[in-house]
Structure 1
Amino acid sequence: MAAAIGLRGDLDGDDLRRLARDSRDAKQVRRLLALAVIAEGGTRTEAARVGGVGLQIVRDWVLRFNAEGPSGLIDRHAPGKAPTLTAEHRAALAQVVEAGPEPWRDGVVRWRRIDLVQWLWEAFRVSVSEATVGRELRALGFRKLSARPRHYAQDPEAAAGFQKSLPERVAEVRAAHPGKRIELWFQDEARIGQKNKLTRRWARRGARPRAPHDQRTAWAYIFGAICPAEGKGAGIVMPFCDTPAMQTHLAEISTAVAPGAHAILILDQAGWHLARALIVPKNITILPLPPRSPELNPVENIWQFMRDNWLSNRVFKGYDDIVAHCCAAWNDLVDQPWRIRSIGRRDWAQGF
């Protein structure tokens, strides 16, 4: 029979019982109480009875306690198999996903998990499954999201320059209208018609949900403008998207600008936005966006929200029905100023 191993003497029975009272680990409590019996001069058999185990297990507890103290009596999870992808692999994977594929080089226009499996093998000779790639991508913060359209001829420097120069332009308008508080507004139009959009909806896995879809072509235009800082908006619904309609919308925006304030209206360079025939109200200054830069206009996100929640998946009876639904949707939006602030806020367009 193996000789009994002595218990380290830096903690007596009272110390072990006190540690057991303070512990939140049930297994550690049981082991501390068993070792407290030994520390107080009891036999290993008595300790085994308190712990509800055999003598060999008590011996293992003593060895762990002598080597590591009370923390050695807490069970540890096995480390398991080392991950196949190292930190270097993950960093390279994140970089290549962020950059996107080059069709001429990679043979695809978007990354699929199977493509990234092949890329990891070619780049590092590391073999992983599609499930592993998907799990790693989620751990790296990637999700499969809908892409935002970007014009092929867009000038990124012009868009960045607009954001950078906005404080200077606001300062110029403020200097031209001394004593006036400046409100920053964004304007755009959306066409809503019978040939409507279908949006995502909840359905059972493996099924393809259905939604009504009209093939007729009547439509109307929502002219919308928002002031994210104030959480307010001004909109009209018109049959045409032209200069007279824009003139009417400018008048509507002008009435929504607070008394004693001056609005800077940011919009794209559509012909009816900058037509010479337009008469701009005295409390509005128009500031055009760089060409082909819709992502700078938060009203684009307003349209997406309205379509997804109020206007899509519908069959309109005719033009009057379209107008009624458009007006109801816009009025619902204006009644939720927090929604306008949330959707329309842009860090580069704040603090004016």
Structure 2
Amino acid sequence: MTKAITLRADHGSDDLRRLARASRDAAQTRRLLALAAIYDGASRTEAARIGGVGLQIVRDWVARFNAEGPAGLVDRKAPGKSPRLGPEQRVALVQAVEAGPKPESHGVVRWRLVDLVRWMQDRFGVSVSRQTLGRELRRMGLRKLSARPQDQAQDPEPLEAFKKTFPPSWRRSASSCPRKPLELWWQDEARVGQKNGITRRWARRGTRPRAPHDQRTTWAYIFGAICPAKGKAAGLVMPYANTEAMQAHLTEISAAVEPGAHAVLILDQAGWHMSTHLAVPENITFLPLPPRSPELNPVENIWQYMRENWLSNRVFENYDDIVAHCCDAWNKLLAEPTRITSIGFRTWAHGS
């Protein structure tokens, strides 16, 4: 017969009953009272009856109490399985996801969970399910996001230099009117046509939702400009993107500038933007973006917002239908000045 373990000597029955009255943990209270009975000379069988358990469980309570005191009688969460990925694997996984796959060696142009599972097996010999790997990626702050387009011939240095020196440069660009308040405007065009885009949508898991998709090729252009600091915009829907359309848009922007103010208009270097045939209004000064730098222009994000919410997943009957929907979408944007500000404001551009 196994000899009973002696209780530690720095506690007594009165001490344990006092702790039991103060405890808010029912399980700890029951265990404290059972051990208090042992201190008073009760048998282990009697202590097991008080605790409502078997003798072996009482023996475990005594061992935990002797090792950790009353705190050892509190239920603890089971440690569970050890994580499948160690710190080294987690760091390497994040680096691989952020760098993206190399098509020539990985055989894919974007990572899927099944590709990353295979990569983990090849790199570290770690077998992990797609569900587990997905949870690990989300736990590390990674999400599936839409990629921002980037010109393959883009030189990043001019872009960073433009952002770094931008606030002084746009103020210098309007130096001919130093006493007038300045407004910072951004301009761009978007083509909207019958061969329309399809966006993500909510659907029951395991299904493949459908969306209408036209194969015809009639289109129109939205000429849009925004002033994020003031939450306003000026736009036109035109049949072509050319100098005449740009001239009409400049007239629209000029009318939207506050009386007595001067607008610095940031735009890309498309031919109809830089044409010498343009008659630029007196209250507008051009400031061209570096070549191949669409991500510097927040109007690109305006187009994405309008397509995802109002223009995609549609079939347009004809040109007039395209124009009507484009005008409706633009007017909805005008009705949300705070949206224009939240999407279009760039701290690096305004120097704050």
TM-score (norm. length: structure 1) = 0.88
Provide the C-alpha distance between the structure 2 equivalents of 1:61 and 1:51, rounded to a whole number of angstroms: 10
Q: What SS does the corresponding residue of 2:313 show, helix, strand or coil?
A: coil
Deviates most, 63-72 or 135-144 = 135-144
Deviations 1:157-176 (A, max 9, x none): 12112111202203313644
1:46–1:231 CA distance, 2 compared to 1 (3 A): farther
Aligned residue for 2:310? 310
Once residues 288 and 278 of structure 2 are traced to their aligned partners in structure 1, the CA distance between those partners, rounded to angstroms, is: 14
The structural deviation recorded for 1:304 is 1.2
Write out aligned runs for 1:265-344 (5 A).
265-344=265-344
Corresponding position of 1:17: 20
Deviation at 1:8, TM superposition (A): 4.5
Q: Distance in 2 between matches of 1:111 and 1:286?
A: 41
Alpha-carbon contact 1:199-1:308 (below 8 Å) kept: yes
- What one-letter code is carried by the residue in structure 2 that aligns with 1:349? A
Post-superposition shift, 1:203?
2.2
Q: Which amino acid aligns with 2:59?
A: R
Shift of 1:319: 2.1
Is contact 1:174–1:180 with CA below 8 Å preserved after alignment? no
TM-score between both structures, scaled by the size of structure 2: 0.88
The size of the alignment, in residue pairs, is: 349
Query: In the alignment, which residue of structure 2 is the partner of 1:193?
Result: 193
Q: Distance in 2 between matches of 1:258 and 1:275?
A: 26
What is the identity percentage for the equivalent residue pairs of Structure 1 and Structure 2? 66
Q: Distance in 2 between matches of 1:268 and 1:323?
A: 24
Secondary structure of 1:188's partner?
Answer: strand
Whole-Å separation in 1 of the counterparts to 2:36 and 2:256: 78
Residues 227, 233 of structure 2: 8 Å contact kept: yes
Q: Which amino acid aligns with 2:299?
A: V
Report the CA distance between 1:271 and its aligned residue: 0.9
For 2:6, the equivalent position in structure 1 comes to 5
**Is the Cα–Cα contact under 8 Å of residues 203 and 209 in structure 1 kept in the other structure?**
yes
C-alpha distance in structure 2 between counterparts of 1:308 and 1:316, whole Å: 16
Point out the more displaced range, 26-35 or 161-170. 26-35
Q: Name whichever of 144-153 and 299-308 sits farther off.
A: 144-153
Alignment of 1:120-199 (within 5 A): 120-173=120-173, 175-199=175-199
Q: Which residue of 2 aligns with 1:248?
A: 248
1:235 aligns with 2:219: no
Distance 2:264 2:33 in 1: 75
> Are the structure 2 counterparts of residues 62 and 182 from structure 1 closer, same or farther at C-alpha, using a change threshold of 3 Å?
farther
Match of 2:214 in 1: 214
Instruction: Please give the residue correspondences for 1:19-34 in structure 2 after superposition, counting only pairs within 5 Å.
Output: 19-20=22-23, 23=24, 25-34=25-34
- Name the CA distance, whole Å, in 1 between partners of 2:203 and 2:68: 54
CA separation of 1:71 and 1:291: change in aligned 2, threshold 3 A:
same
Q: Give the Cα–Cα distance (whole angstroms) in 1 for the partners of residues 214 and 121 of structure 2.
A: 48
The residue type equivalent to 1:51 in the other structure is: G
Aligned position for 1:82: 82
**Structure 1 residues not aligned, in runs of 5+:** none
Partner of 1:204: 204
- Say whether the 8 Å CA contact 1:13–1:40 is kept in structure 2: no
The separation in 2 between residues aligned to 1:144 and 1:254, in whole angstroms, is 40
Cα RMSD after superposing both structures? 2.6
Question: Following the alignment from structure 1 to structure 2, what is the Cα–Cα distance between the partners of residues 149 and 138?
Answer: 24
Judged with a 3 Å threshold, the aligned counterparts in structure 2 of structure 1 residues 33 and 338 are, in CA distance, closer, same or farther, namely farther
Gap runs ≥5 in structure 2: none
Which whole-Å CA distance do the structure 1 matches of 2:185 and 2:26 have between them? 61
Amino acid at match of 1:321: D
Q: How far apart are 1:125 and its partner, in Å?
A: 3.5
Give yes or no for the alignment of 1:94 onto 2:85. no
Distance 1:256 1:39 in 2: 88
**Quick check: 2:190–2:221 contact (8 Å CA) kept in 1?**
yes
Q: Which moved more, 1:30-39 or 1:62-71?
A: 30-39
Q: Deviations over 1:166-225 (max 9, x none)?
A: 022033136443233332211111112222222222222332222222333332211111
Letter of the 1:198 partner, please give it: I
What CA distance in whole angstroms lies between the structure 1 residues aligned with 2:287 and 2:229? 17
Distance 1:300 1:132 in 2: 36
SS of 1:313's partner is coil
Letter in 2 for 1:17: A
Q: How far apart are 1:156 and its partner, in Å?
A: 1.3
Alignment of 1:67-78 (within 5 A): 67-78=67-78
- Post-superposition offset of 1:317: 2.7
Distance in structure 1 (CA, Å) of the matches to 2:232 and 2:196: 27
Partner of 1:111: 111
